[in-house]
Amino acid sequence: MSRLEQRFAELKAEGRSALVTFITAGDPGYDASLQILKGLPAAGADVIELGMPFTDPMADGVAIQLATLRALDAGQTLAKTLQMVRDFRTGNQTTPIVLMGYYNPIHRFGVEAFVAQAKQAGVDGLIIVDLPPEHDAELASPAQAAGIDFIRLTTPTTDDQRLPRVLERSSGFVYYVSVAGVTGAGSATTEHVSEAIARLRRHTDLPISVGFGIRTPEQAAAIARLADGVVVGSALVDKIAQAERPEQAVDDVLSLCAALAEGVRGARR
Amino acid sequence: MTQSQYRPGPDANGLFGSFGGRYVAETLMPLVLDLAREYEAAKADPAFLEELAYFQRDYIGRPNPLYFAERLTEHCGGAKIFFKREELNHTGAHKVNNCIGQVLLAKRMGKKRLIAETGAGMHGVATATVAARFGLPCVIYMGATDIERQQANVFRMRLLGAEIVPVTAGTGTLKDAMNEALRDWVTNVEDTFYLIGTVAGPHPYPAMVRDFQSIIGKETRAQLQEKEGRLPDSLVACVGGGSNAMGLFHEFLEEPSVQIIGVEAGGHGVHTDKHAASLNGGVPGVLHGNRTYLLQDADGQITDAHSISAGLDYPGIGPEHAYLHEVKRVEYVSITDDEALDAFHASCRLEGIIPALESAHALAEAIKRAPSLPKDHLMVVCLSGRGDKDMQTVMSHMAAQEKQA
């Protein structure tokens, strides 16, 4: 059983939703970012999405664009992001890590080398924003062959006709992007999310995580009542932007994570 | 249209060989698939083609002339040089050929709002123009650096009723404007039509924009046939994203006697880190919805392009050009800022034509080649745009040179 399957199965048994946290690898610098990463499980993160910085994050809003720039300015590379996962795994063998980003840095690194090194480092899944199922042969298939899950984004524009295509090769979990837009934009209503999950449920048995625009413990709790996972990204990344020192960034991200975790845990399903 | 080695399509997935494709976020996938279907239907619809032809003739002013550049020819002392006068189009560049096509498609699809990215501002002006003509609200994304160096075009767009959104991310140039336009599109999927200005982006844009621009080559063939009774021997066009070049080249790709040359912006030289020559100085990668040659570092991060010409200042190139480069059907060379400026002045003084700095890159390559070619060699240069927008840039460059002297 993969770490993602294991984790969602455990939480299902506990009767609660997963808190999925996003941070950008190397933001605000390698050391502080690694410290945040290592601290997230104890602060209540159940699954970690680790952003691979890219100069042109076309599907991201300002918060994650700036996080990306901070990381790149501090010298983050794809090789360092894989090293960060290795460093994390020396102390944690249970929390799933999903790398999230855009295709070009992987294309440049070489798909074969990337898949091999990611697997060896302890990466559990990939979310590649600009690789729709039409391009499965490039990365999704080799990654899955190596035992790395390929997590698909589904959106309000993914209609019933397209949904089977998107879900066909999905594994790990399904990420529902609850608003058409960039990360950090406005949030969807619970009615919308509830309908969307019901629709997705008709097409898949995979756990469904919902993201985009979830910033507070209250919002997280509301989504946790509906979905198998709650994704929070921009709100955590904003704490790094607002911090005056790296130590403060670490503290503030982990405090917000703890508060979000409390919200998610309090929302029994 | 026949399928062949040099005009391979693209295929159903939008691929020219291994270039092109649809590398976009899932939110946009249903839209680009829908656009591809609608475009296929439109181009088979006589009513659509008739309306397109009407606007090409009565609004853009086509056909524009194929002009024998007699004094430049004498000056070079070799090949007979012709200018395809795209700068005489309404709005002053080839960009409007594509904008008219796309706005008619937007109207057909019932879209209520246009967005576009622009570099030099020529595509922005052309988009703002057709938006005004068809009564659609229009938002233009433009890099802050480009706004600074293209004030005249910014004002023109405002006069035409467009909203200009300055983009400060990155270096504030064309690539950043395109990122921001994509973010707008992903947010306003229901009612918005993204009018991409070059032969790049997710399928069907590269093929669709090429088709709308291919009138350049079709007219050139007929006009040269009338003047000289035969095909050209060579074609020269500048390449940023590469839409004027694809427009001129496409008609001749399967004519083996026609030598085809694309001119990239060499900036300070392709051996420096200040150029915009994706084919001569880049490697394949994925950006803005397509796989193509890109300027990037060893980590796959996109690096900044540089060119004196804002319209060529982009770290990528249309995927069909990447394909034609790999199969060696088209030769891609580069011209530096200084060489382009020299050609700019030569065109002003010898022909009384002030070319866009983009087009001056093609002229510079023509001036380089023509002297060593026989007098019966027929060379067509795409004069893709007029230089009025570049007055400020040329002035400050001349002032800097005088200071140095």
A108: nearest CB among B170, B187, B285: B285
pLDDT surpassing 90 at residue A95: yes
Report the alpha-carbon distance of residue A265 to residue B1 in Å, rounded: 62
Least reliable range by pLDDT among A20-34, A49-63, B164-178, B319-333: B164-178
Q: Please tell me chain A's helix, strand, coil percentages from 3-state DSSP, rounded to the nearest 5.
A: 50, 15, 40
Which of the residues A27, A46, A60, A124 is marked catalytic? A60
Q: What's the mean pLDDT in A4-14? A: 97
Q: Which of B390, B139, B90, B97 is nearest to B243 (CA)?
A: B97
Per-residue pLDDT of B90-142, as tens digits, reads: 999 999 999 999 999 999 999 999 999 998 899 999 999 999 999 999 999 99
Q: Are residues B302 and A59, on separate chains, in Cβ contact within 8 Å?
A: no
Residues B27, A59: C-beta atoms closer than 8 Å = yes
Q: What is the pTM of this model?
A: 0.96
- For residue A67, give every residue at least 6 positions away whose Cβ sits within 8 Å of its Cβ, in sequence order, or none: A23, A24, A27, A51, A53, A237, A240, A241
A177 contacts chain B (CB < 8 A): yes
Cβ contacts (< 8 Å) between A162 and chain B: which residues?
29-30, 33
* pLDDT for position B3: 47
d(CA A158, CA A166): 8
Higher pLDDT, B100 or A187: B100
CA-nearest residue to A81 within chain B is B299
* Residue from B301, B302, B304, B314 whose CB has the most chain A CBs within 10 Å, to mutate: B301
Tell me the per-residue pLDDT of A205-225, one tens digit each, with 9 for 90 and over: 999 999 999 999 999 999 999
Please give, rounded to a whole number of angstroms, the shortest distance from the CA of B292 to a CA of chain A: 11
- Facing B22 at nearest CB: one of A104, A134, A156: A134
**Which among B296, B293, B301 is positioned nearest to B318, based on CA atoms?**
B293
Quote the minimal CA–CA distance from A139 to chain B in Å.
12
To the nearest whole number, what is the mean pLDDT of chain A? 96
CATH class of this structure's domain B63-92+212-404: alpha beta
Outline which parts of chain B fall under CATH 3.40.50.1100. Answer: 23-57+95-209, 63-92+212-404
Q: Is B228 a catalytic residue?
A: no
When pLDDT is averaged across residues A103-116 and rounded to a whole number, the result is: 98
Residue position matching structure tokens 């030289």: B269
Per-residue pLDDT of chain B in tens (405 residues, 90 and over written 9): 344 677 768 998 999 999 999 999 999 999 999 999 999 999 999 999 999 999 999 999 999 999 999 999 999 999 999 999 999 999 999 999 999 999 999 999 999 999 999 988 999 999 999 999 999 999 999 999 889 888 889 999 999 999 999 998 877 888 999 999 999 999 998 899 999 999 999 999 999 999 999 999 999 999 999 999 999 999 999 999 999 999 999 999 999 999 999 999 999 999 999 999 999 999 999 999 999 999 999 999 999 899 999 889 899 999 999 999 999 999 999 999 999 999 999 999 999 999 999 999 999 999 999 999 999 999 999 999 999 989 989 999 999 888 887
pLDDT digit string, tens, across residues A141-171: 999 999 999 999 999 999 999 999 999 999 9
Nearest chain A alpha carbon to B169: A65
Which ipTM did the prediction report?
0.95
Confirm or reject contact between A42 and chain B (CB < 8 A): no
With both helix axes pointing from N to C terminus, report the angle between B205-213 and B319-326 in degrees, rounded to the nearest 10: 80
pLDDT in tens, A66-89: 999 999 999 999 999 999 999 999
Domains of chain A, CATH where assigned: 3-266 (3.20.20.70)
Chain A residues within an 8 Å CB radius of B286: 102-104, 107, 130
User: Do the chains contact at A56 and B285, CB–CB below 8 Å?
Assistant: no
Phi, psi values for residue B42, rounded to 5°: -65, -45
pLDDT of B405 reads 74
Amino acid, single-letter form, for residue B340: A
Chain B residues interacting with chain A (CB cutoff of 8 angstroms): 13, 21-31, 33, 169-170, 175, 179, 182-183, 186-190, 283-289, 291, 294, 296, 298-302
Q: Is A190 on the interface with B (CB under 8 A)?
A: no
Q: Is A104 within 8 Å of B296 when comparing Cβ atoms?
A: yes
Alpha helices in chain A (DSSP H): 3-14, 30-39, 62-73, 78-89, 103-109, 111-121, 140-145, 163-168, 190-201, 217-224, 234-242, 246-266
Contact pairs from chain A to chain B, CB under 8 Å:
118
Amino acid at A52: M
Q: Which residues pair with B16 in a beta bridge?
A: B19
Rounded-to-integer distance, Cα B200 and Cα B305, Å: 16
Quick one: pLDDT at residue A269?
65
Q: Which two tokens stand for residue B377?
A: 């060699």
**pLDDT of amino acid B1:** 38
B255-277: b or e for each residue (b if 16 or more CB lie within 10 Å)? eeebbbbbbbbbbebbeeeebbb
Identify the pLDDT of residue B4: 65
Neighbours of B11 (CB within 10 A): 13
Whether the Cβ atoms of residue B279 and residue B325 lie closer than 8 Å to each other: yes
Residues B301, A177: C-beta atoms closer than 8 Å:
no
Give B268 to chain A, closest Cα distance, Å.
23
Query: In chain B, which residue's Cα lies nearest the Cα of A185?
Result: B187
Q: How far is A162 from chain B (nearest CA, A)?
A: 8
Catalytic residue among B87, B117, B219, B320: B117
Angstroms from B191 CA to nearest CA on chain A: 12
Residue type, B79: A
Residue B396: which residues within 8 A CB-CB, separation 6 or more? Answer: none
Greater model confidence, A186 or B71: B71
Q: Is B23-57+95-209 CATH 3.40.50.1100?
A: yes
